[in-house]
Structure 1
Amino acid sequence: MATQDTSNKPIFYALGANGGIAAAKFAAALYTGSGAMLAEAIHSLADCTNQLFLLRGLKEAKKPPDESHPMGYGRVVYFWAMMVALLLFFLGGAFSVMQGIEHLRDPEPLSNVHVALGVLGVSVALESFSLYGAMKEIRKTSGDKPFFRWFRETRQSELLVVAGEDIAALCGLSLAFIAVLLTVVTGNPIWDACGTIAVGVLLMVVAIFITHEVKGMITGESAAPEVHAAIKAHILARPEVDHVIHLITVQWGSQLMVAVQARMHAQPSDHALVEAINTVEETIQQRWPTVKWCFFEPDFEPGAD
């Protein structure tokens, strides 16, 4: 059974990889004068900041409930994930596009291109390592679900952001490599400027996709479809329950809130009815440990005898 709990390892993998990559890219950008390389360096720096944001969000999410937040701080991770998406869009994407437009207006020849190509190659290897760590965690919870379906249905904002960043980074590195290579082959620095713009547009598109998914989490999404369906099937299979009238599941960070309205089988007393409800709630929380809150309302359907 999959849960929403995830390891911080993918974030640390990404932070370590992007820190080294950013330093190498900035040095190569200054050494070669490549706008595409500078765009990639800014992207890696933004990614480092993003991982720090995610780690802060996960730390804040562990704060215990209090009077002002009786259900805890689990959903604060969605706020920090949204901050990451905005940073990726403006600092990574928009800056790169502006940098590319400036180089189009005033193109400059590249120098020591072999350095830029070498750094890009090493960066691909490090980003691949980071993406491997993220995909390893994804496979623990996604089962046989295709990646894009997982991306649309997952409630793990931090893992979604890391995977999205890594994919954008690998695609961006490929674009930058092609741009620098075309500049060398043709001798025309316009290709480098076009590569810078392409990297920026790519980052902005990825940021928009991440923002759209995180927006759903912030506004209050249910549990993943297969989890919601499994909980409903479990309740229906209980001998104490006659029919599920309504079921609400709400993802609360790494935890779940479940609210059930159901018609119960007749019980000999009020005390027996309460015990039956408690039994159903206990079985739900035993099977899904991430269900932190379970609210159960026995009721009759409108028009029922």
Structure 2
Amino acid sequence: MSRHADAAPHSTGRPDRQDGKDAEDARTAVTVFVALGANLVIALAKLAGGLFARSPALLSEAAHSVADSLNELFLLASLKRSTRAPDSRHPFGYGKERYFWSLLAAVGIFVMGGCFSFFQGIEALRSHHSETFTGYVVGLVVLAVALVAEGSSLVRALLQVRGRARQAGHSMRKAVRTADDPALRTVLAEDSTACFGVLVAMAGLGLHMITGEVQWEAWASMIIGALLVFVAYQLAKESRGQIIGEAADPALRRALRTFLEEQPEIDTVTTLLTMRLGTRSTLIAARVDLVGGLDSEEVEEVLVRVKAAVREQWPIADQVFLDVTEATPRDRERARRERRQLDESVSAGGEGPGAKPPEVQG
């Protein structure tokens, strides 16, 4: 006969009442504002230079900067809206707003950046346009200024990532790969792509000036478009997974399972389910089989104590549900298999939020 006990998670109040997360969000907001300011100035400079030089590569870069500026507005909206308190319509809070606005930013990169760049490249191949020497120089100067501005914004984002890496004891590469803040990740992707795109545009414009063949600029424009489409696809894919519901990283899931298994009152953790509700909230739902001989009051005390201990040790795990049920031999075998898969995933370096979760069977 199964025993069932499920208590609502203890409310932690507003999800933004976390000093560390507030400070990190403030740094991210500064990073986004720096990127927005740089992109607005660069977009105007590229547009003016592109119209003057009639350069398709430069106009493609202008479209890229306009798209990036719009995306920064989306990211700023996500930072503000994602910290709203839970209410009756959204009892788990608004943390996933960040993923939604990041998805819109990816769409903006695809439509306004990638598609327009392809269009400019195709138009350039059809027009066979050539420019005066002055036009080439103006275009190259504008791109050089853009490279400095984009590089400054990229350095700001990388400095923030380095600070996170030091706090977590990770390398820069691992910190970038496992970054869970979609706003910071999008700024990094935009700025690094922008710097590379400016270099491609400079190469295309320079070769056009040397050879007189507009095809160099046309191909540069289409390379920029292909790069933007790829970046937009990657960002959209990550946002899609997070909006649908993504498990916590394997290292956290293994630590939680180990903690539960070590409790003297818990005989078996048959199933452990997690879902990230935002950058500062994670849902934990576990089915556990308790040792025999506990009465109803003792079961309730165990559940309250264990959930409180989980929230204290992992503040991000603010929504904790425990389901007490009697484990069958099949449940115990599945639990062992899930534990092995978690161990293998963590050993293989799958600590990132996009790591493949272990197989879960109902």
- TM-score norm. by structure 1 comes to 0.90
Task: Rate the CA distance shift 1:234–1:120 in 2: closer, same or farther, 3 A.
Answer: farther
The equivalent residue for 1:130 is 153
Deviates more, 1:9-18 or 1:252-261: 9-18
Deviates more, 1:138-147 or 1:59-68: 138-147
Please give the alpha-carbon distance, in whole angstroms, between the structure 2 residues aligned to 1:136 and 1:100: 35
Please give the alpha-carbon distance, in whole angstroms, between the structure 2 residues aligned to 1:221 and 1:137: 24
The equivalent residue for 2:100 is 79
Q: Residue 221 of structure 1: CA displacement?
A: 0.3
The equivalent residue for 1:161 is 186
Task: Rate the CA distance shift 1:154–1:236 in 2: closer, same or farther, 3 A.
Answer: farther
Q: Deviations over 1:179-212 (max 9, x none)?
A: 0111122122221122111111111111111111
Pick aligned residue for 2:304 from 256, 275, 278: 278
Deviates more, 1:59-68 or 1:4-13: 4-13
1:154–1:224 contact (8 Å) kept in structure 2: no
Paired residues for 1:196-235 under 5 Å: 196-235=221-260
Pick aligned residue for 1:104 from 119, 125, 128: 125
SS in 2 for 1:74: coil
The equivalent residue for 1:18 is 39
Specify the code of the residue in structure 2 equivalent to 1:263.
D
Gaps of 5+ in 1: none
Task: Rate the CA distance shift 1:95–1:143 in 2: closer, same or farther, 3 A.
Answer: farther
2:64–2:109 contact (8 Å) kept in structure 1: yes
Please give the alpha-carbon distance, in whole angstroms, between the structure 1 residues aligned to 2:288 and 2:176: 30
1:249–1:256 contact (8 Å) kept in structure 2: yes
SS in 2 for 1:291: coil
Q: What's the RMSD between the two structures over aligned residues?
A: 2.4
Q: Deviations over 1:74-94 (max 9, x none)?
A: 112211111111110011000
SS in 2 for 1:110: coil
2:287–2:322 contact (8 Å) kept in structure 1: yes
SS in 1 for 2:318: strand
Pick aligned residue for 2:276 from 247, 251, 255: 251
2:209 pairs with 1:184: yes
2:319 pairs with 1:293: yes
Specify the code of the residue in structure 2 equivalent to 1:296.
L
Specify the code of the residue in structure 2 equivalent to 1:244.
V
Pick aligned residue for 1:44 from 65, 71, 74: 65
Pick aligned residue for 2:114 from 93, 103, 114: 93
Q: Residue 266 of structure 1: CA displacement?
A: 4.6
Please give the alpha-carbon distance, in whole angstroms, between the structure 2 residues aligned to 1:236 and 1:145: 31
Specify the code of the residue in structure 2 equivalent to 1:105.
R
2:141 pairs with 1:118: yes
Q: Residue 261 of structure 1: CA displacement?
A: 1.3
Please give the alpha-carbon distance, in whole angstroms, between the structure 2 residues aligned to 1:292 and 1:19: 39
1:249–1:257 contact (8 Å) kept in structure 2: yes
Task: Rate the CA distance shift 1:143–1:110 in 2: closer, same or farther, 3 A.
Answer: farther
Please give the alpha-carbon distance, in whole angstroms, between the structure 1 residues aligned to 2:185 and 2:214: 36
1:35–1:192 contact (8 Å) kept in structure 2: yes
Q: Residue 293 of structure 1: CA displacement?
A: 0.8
